[in-house]
Amino acid sequence: MRAARSLGVEPESVAERRIASDEDINTPVSPIMGESANARKLHVGCYVCSMLPHVRTIECVPNISGGRHALVIDRIAGAVATTRGVRLLDRSSDRDHHRTVLSMVGHPAPQREAVLAMMEAAVRLIDTRTHRGVHPRLGAVDVVPFIPLGDATMAECADLARLVAAEAARRLALPIYLYEQAALIPGRQRLEQLRRGQFEGLAVKMQDPTWRPDFGPATPHVTAGATVVGARDLLVAYNINLDTNQLETARQVAAVIRESSGGLPHVKAMGVPLAERGIVQVSMNLTNFRITPPSRVFARVREEVEARGARVLESEVVGLIPAAALADTTLEALRLPAATADRVLERRLEAVGYRL
């Protein structure tokens, strides 16, 4: 762990003590974290879950560069599902984006093992050199964020992110960049900055000493590129589909609404084609859904789309959505499918053993 020490990261044994709970984090519990009989309250959004005292729960939402080959994704997701002490809450794949988003929860130590197993499988099975999708990516495992739930803290998630990054780099000879709250180098907080140039531009980018990775080799992995690992708050991955095949319309709308162009606060947006459906999409991350909820985004997108002579067909959530993000609206108002009710984070947590 010398590389970790030189970058200001605690040695593994120290960091593990910081993120471990008072319980034995490897003790089998039922079915995710613990039996709720001796529970205290864990607040997630506007809901309440109950679980064992002192248990710190962390969500991880890996984004994998593959969404068209079910058997490949089965094996990658299986590495998570078979890890003791971690529960796979959701798996969302998209063929046009050629991307899969996994949602998993667990204690820090089992989460670390599950993520490392998932990364090993993805690096073995995905060749980014042949990957073509509409979503930007740096490698086979594009990004791995850790998210605090309940009593877990952002500092604990940052510790865990750095531990995973160091170990993944060592095991897989994979360049790893740290981002958001785990970042150690100024200017590396924003994912889009790290991802600029994508996999294809990575070799040239890494020749610049300012873009040396936080962990791992200073050249891209031949087939897996590089991975970004970090810690962040909950966000909503939210897409709106338009009834047109004019990509420029989606791109113009995305430019108007995204924060970096002077649009809505805490909104990242891009316009992409959905070739298999012959339409276009405004694809977004809402990084603070309490300030800018989906309802506000939908209204603004619809206004901009209709001003350009097109219509909104529908919207969709990628992965899971916190209940608070839907508190001021309905699925019908957002043109979300009825099945989105089952994509509420708190509902999935309850389904695998929490009591709301």
Contact 62, 138 (CB under 8 A): no
DSSP string, 179-247: EETT--STT---HHHHHTTTGGGHHHHTTSGGG--SBS-SS-BTTTB-EEEEE----EEEEEEES---H
Contact 354, 45 (CB under 8 A): no
From the list 296, 163, 150, 161, the residue with the least C-alpha distance to 234 is 150
Contact 88, 31 (CB under 8 A): no
Dihedral sign for Cα 58, 63, 67, 71, please.
negative
Residue 266 burial (CB count, 10 A): 18
- Which positions are catalytic? 135
User: What residues contact 165, with CB distance under 8 A and at least 6 apart?
Assistant: 176, 178, 182, 214, 215, 229
Instruction: Please state the separation of Cα 246 from the chain's center in Å.
Output: 28
Q: Determine the Cα–Cα distance for residues 114 and 12; give it in Å rounded to an integer.
A: 17
Dig out the tokens for 87 from the structure: 């529960």
Q: Determine the Cα–Cα distance for residues 163 and 176; give it in Å rounded to an integer.
A: 11
Mark residue 203 as left, alpha or beta (left: phi above 0; alpha: psi -120 to 50; beta: remaining): alpha
